[in-house]
């Protein structure tokens, strides 16, 4: 019996019918396939990809850091921290994806309990990462509506599905800090 990891070929050393040349070719082909396997490549450099995630595309930013887009999130290396640590943005946490062609910047914007956040990745050129990010963020959106008090919008409520699970993430963004103390706005939301 021959056991190999996914994406690799293996030939037993003493299998009848395999000449040394065939075994060498199989080893070379297995190494080539492993290099071509995006998941293996991302894991080899330390990307903390979950077991159920599929790598959809990967690339590098201008600083040379690896950016990996999976079915559940985008992973990128933080060069500013100690060592080469990784950050994860779940697609359900991203509100807007924008590509700025002139500056070659892929911008992710979202909301968390501390307020709005923004992460920008400077890429060498427009890559598949832009389209994958837009598609994945759009695929998480279940509902989004504006909450109005009279004729004034006072909040936006969004529901997103976490990829790979049935969990729904609800986000409420108020148009002003005073809105949270207003009982009418709280009741509407």
Choice among 36-40, 69-73, 104-108 with the minimum mean pLDDT: 36-40
Q: Residues 56, 119: one domain?
A: yes
**CA-based nearest residue to 117, from 109, 105, 125:** 109
Residue 43, domain member (yes or no): no
Of the residues 139, 157, 177, which one is the last residue of a structural domain? 139
Q: What is the pLDDT of residue 74?
A: 93
Q: Is the pLDDT of residue 138 over 90?
A: yes
Q: What is the pLDDT of residue 64?
A: 80
Residue 42, domain member (yes or no): no
Q: Is the pLDDT of residue 134 over 90?
A: yes
Average pLDDT over residues 45-49: 76
> Which range of residues forms the domain containing residue 66?
48-139
How confident is residue 35, by pLDDT bands cut at 50, 70 and 90? very low
Residue 128, domain member (yes or no): yes
Q: What is the pLDDT of residue 80?
A: 63
Within the chain, residue ranges assigned H as helices are: 20-36, 38-44, 128-140, 183-188
Q: What Cα–Cα distance (Å) separates residue 108 from each residue in 77, 127, 131?
A: 15, 15, 13
Query: What's the chain's average pLDDT?
Result: 79
Cα-based angle 63, 65, 70 (whole degrees, multiple of 5)? 140
Instruction: Specify the 3-state DSSP secondary structure of 66.
Output: strand
Q: Residues 114, 174: one domain?
A: no
Q: Residues 132, 150: one domain?
A: no
Of the residues 139, 157, 174, which one is the last residue of a structural domain? 139
What total of structural domains would you count in the chain?
A: 3
Extract long-range pairs of 167-176: CB within 8 Å, 24+ residues apart. 168/142, 169/92, 169/93, 171/95, 171/111, 173/111, 173/116
Q: Residues 151, 133: one domain?
A: no
Q: What is the pLDDT of residue 124?
A: 82
């Amino acid at each position: 019996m021959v056991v190999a990891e996914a994406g690799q070929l293996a030939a037993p050393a003493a299998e009848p019918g395999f000449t040394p040349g065939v075994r060498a070719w199989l080893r070379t082909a297995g190494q080539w396939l492993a290099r071509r396997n995006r998941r293996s490549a991302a894991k080899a450099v330390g990307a903390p990809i979950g077991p159920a995630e599929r790598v959809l595309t990967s690339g590098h930013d201008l600083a040379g850091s690896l950016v990996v887009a999976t079915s559940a999130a985008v992973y990128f290396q933080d060069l500013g921290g100690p060592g080469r640590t990784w950050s994860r943005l779940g697609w359900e946490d991203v509100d807007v994806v924008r590509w700025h062609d002139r500056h070659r910047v892929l911008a992710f914007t979202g909301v968390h309990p501390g307020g709005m956040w923004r992460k920008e990745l400077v890429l060498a050129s427009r890559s598949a990462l832009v389209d994958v990010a837009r598609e994945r963020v759009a695929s998480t959106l279940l509902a989004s509506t504006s909450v109005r008090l009279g004729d004034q919008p006072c909040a936006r409520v969004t529901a997103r599905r976490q990829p790979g699970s049935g969990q729904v993430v609800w986000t409420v963004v108020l148009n002003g800090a005073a809105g949270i103390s207003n009982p009418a706005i709280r009741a509407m939301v």
